[in-house]
Structure 1
Amino acid sequence: MTQPPEITSRAARVTAAARSAAAAFGPNYRRARQESRWLRVIGFTRVIAFLSILGGILFTGYTVLADFLEPSVSLSLPVYEFWPTLPPGAAITSGPSAHVTGGGFTSAQVQVSGLDGAARTWLAGSALLQGATVVMIAIVVLTLCSTLLRSDPFHTAVTRGIRVLGITVIVGGLGWQLCSGVGESLASTQVLQLGSAEFQNVVTWESITSIIGFPSPTPHVQVDFWPIWVGLAMLVLAAAFRYGERLQRDTAGLV
């Protein structure tokens, strides 16, 4: 059955309007959904950053106080490369089928009591610098998330924060490794340094270091240089944000 021309024309106009609306609002709807998804991710990241700031402050404070006040301190104790050996005159009559012929361990994770104030201060300084670096990273992430939610990513606070973060990573990253190495080296000397010994009714010893399970102390300060590269990358990123901030300020009056 043939429809009247006016009905056909009206249907065509409705169809065209529907297509125009779909063309106009379809991409906008998809874009809105994508932006909504990213906003949820940014909001979630901001919450995590805020919790990291609180947790980092509390954990760092607890660790620093523990290094000063706790009777025992947990640390990695550096030693000269060591493997337990039997003293002269002793032999294993039955045991493992394989034997260590070279090498050994160079550190041990231990709980140490009786450390002096100098060793505890270096260890506490390492914990403080490490915690401050982590908290600073979380602060910058929180600031960046907040400016993104306000549609103002090139805010002066973000640029300044990233610049400060770069310096913090370099100084804090190198500093906490140095403090940790010095503190652990002092602890190694205080735990393992021997003066003299006396043996009675035992097999003859050629050296006091051949006692089973008694390693020798050693200074050991290991510094990795990754904080320098990360810090420089942050400084370059801060320069890029500074450039974006300048462009945003220059074009603000043109819109």
Structure 2
Amino acid sequence: MTVPRTPVTISHGMERGILILFMAAAGVVGLAVLLPPLRRLGALIGGETTLSMLTRADLPHSGSTETGASIAAATYESAWVTATGLSDAARWMIGLGIALGALTAAVTVGAIVYFLFLLMWKRPFHRSLIVATQIAGAALLIGSLLAGGLGGLGRMMAADELNPVANDVFVVGFSFEPGVLLAGIAVLALSLVFSYGTKLKRDTEGLV
């Protein structure tokens, strides 16, 4: 004998509360992401440049331990540096990279909050959401490229200027994370889904 299962229903108030919680969480995460670059920009305006730089400095180590574990070779990969007296060109490049990265993050978080707002408004396929996701996707693609390129150029200039006082431990180069580009492509693809959903909703309006 089987007992029929009663479907679990979520009240409208609970649904709104969950969405508001998600919006608040997205806002908090957005602030947590934006505060570090804003602090770095403030320090940059004050004359101190804080940045992560590639390095090839050796990690101090001994040959072996009593347990038999040993290190054959070890080097640091990056180092956080607070520098003063960098050239204006290097500081401008680094500052533009930081600012563009912060703007990209702000646009992305704004698109997420707007999507949650439309869900609460019960209009997940509103036409404006297509524009919002297209802007967020383009920001992730273009913004991350510009931020990485300009900031990377500034790091290369800073490494060249600081190497004479750091025994040439800094690499005149920079690293770039391609995952952001994939996220931008995914968001742009999501905008196509929203576009199709909006068209489907418009075509089925009035049908029973």
Tell me by how many angstroms 1:226 deviates. Answer: 1.7
- Which residue pairs with 2:196 in the alignment? 243
Tell me by how many angstroms 1:53 deviates. Answer: 5.5
Counterpart-to-counterpart distance in 2, 1:133 and 1:150:
26
Checking the alignment, whether the CA contact within 8 Å between 1:166 and 1:232 is kept in structure 2 is yes
- Which residue pairs with 1:89 in the alignment? none
Tell me by how many angstroms 1:103 deviates. Answer: 4.7
- Which residue pairs with 1:42 in the alignment? 19
In structure 2, relative to structure 1, the CA distance for the partners of 1:57 and 1:102 (3 Å cut) is closer
Checking the alignment, whether the CA contact within 8 Å between 1:133 and 1:168 is kept in structure 2 is yes
Checking the alignment, whether the CA contact within 8 Å between 1:121 and 1:183 is kept in structure 2 is yes
| TM-score normalized with structure 2 length | 0.80
CA radius of gyration, larger in: 1
- Which residue pairs with 2:67 in the alignment? none
| TM-score normalized with structure 1 length | 0.67
Checking the alignment, whether the CA contact within 8 Å between 1:166 and 1:235 is kept in structure 2 is yes
In structure 2, relative to structure 1, the CA distance for the partners of 1:70 and 1:218 (3 Å cut) is same
> Aligned ranges for residues 117-196 of structure 1 at < 5 Å?
117-193=88-164
Unaligned stretches of 5+ in structure 2? Answer: 65-69
Checking the alignment, whether the CA contact within 8 Å between 2:52 and 2:80 is kept in structure 1 is yes
Counterpart-to-counterpart distance in 2, 1:105 and 1:57:
27
Tell me by how many angstroms 1:127 deviates. Answer: 1.1
1:129-179 per-position Cα deviation (integer Å, ceiling 9, x unaligned): 111111111111111111111111000111111111111111122222222
| Structure 2 counterpart SS, 1:154 | coil
Checking the alignment, whether the CA contact within 8 Å between 2:63 and 2:71 is kept in structure 1 is no
Unaligned stretches of 5+ in structure 1? Answer: 1-22, 86-94, 195-212
Q: Does 1:225 align with 2:203?
A: no
- Which residue pairs with 1:76 in the alignment? 52
Say what the alpha-carbon RMSD is for the aligned residues: 2.9
Q: Does 1:234 align with 2:187?
A: yes
Checking the alignment, whether the CA contact within 8 Å between 1:49 and 1:138 is kept in structure 2 is yes
Percent identity for Structure 1 against Structure 2: 21
Tell me by how many angstroms 1:180 deviates. Answer: 2.4
Checking the alignment, whether the CA contact within 8 Å between 1:174 and 1:227 is kept in structure 2 is no
Checking the alignment, whether the CA contact within 8 Å between 1:75 and 1:110 is kept in structure 2 is yes
Counterpart-to-counterpart distance in 2, 1:223 and 1:114:
26
Counterpart-to-counterpart distance in 1, 2:28 and 2:114:
14
| One-letter amino acid of the counterpart of residue 73, structure 1 | T
Counterpart-to-counterpart distance in 1, 2:25 and 2:149:
30
| One-letter amino acid of the counterpart of residue 155, structure 2 | E
Counterpart-to-counterpart distance in 1, 2:171 and 2:186:
35
Between the two proteins, the alignment pairs up a number of residues equal to 199
